[in-house]
């Protein structure tokens, strides 16, 4: 069972970019099990921090869905 699940996630930073089809994140699908470790690497500006903001609910996807611990991410996660 997945602990972190990204299902066909796309992100445009605003409605204007969404209307133009300009996305910062395109079609990410990812399943990470509880206790698994992943690393996201890449150059500055490639979307690493944006990915984390999506995972924690600080940004909401334009398309697709994100779940943590089986619960849909609908806003900032509370600890």
| pTM of this structure | 0.88
* Span 22-70, pLDDT tens digits: 999 999 999 999 999 999 999 998 889 999 999 999 999 999 999 999 9
Please compute, for residue 51, the number of CA atoms within 13 A of its CA located in the half-sphere on the CB side: 19
């Amino acid at each position: 069972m997945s602990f972190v699940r990204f299902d066909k996630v796309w992100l445009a930073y605003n409605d204007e970019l969404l209307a133009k089809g300009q996305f910062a994140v395109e079609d990410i699908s990812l399943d990470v099990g509880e206790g698994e470790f992943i690393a996201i690497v890449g150059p500055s500006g490639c979307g690493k921090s944006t990915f984390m903001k999506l995972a924690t609910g600080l940004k909401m996807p334009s398309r697709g869905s994100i779940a943590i611990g089986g619960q849909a991410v609908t806003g900032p996660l509370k600890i």
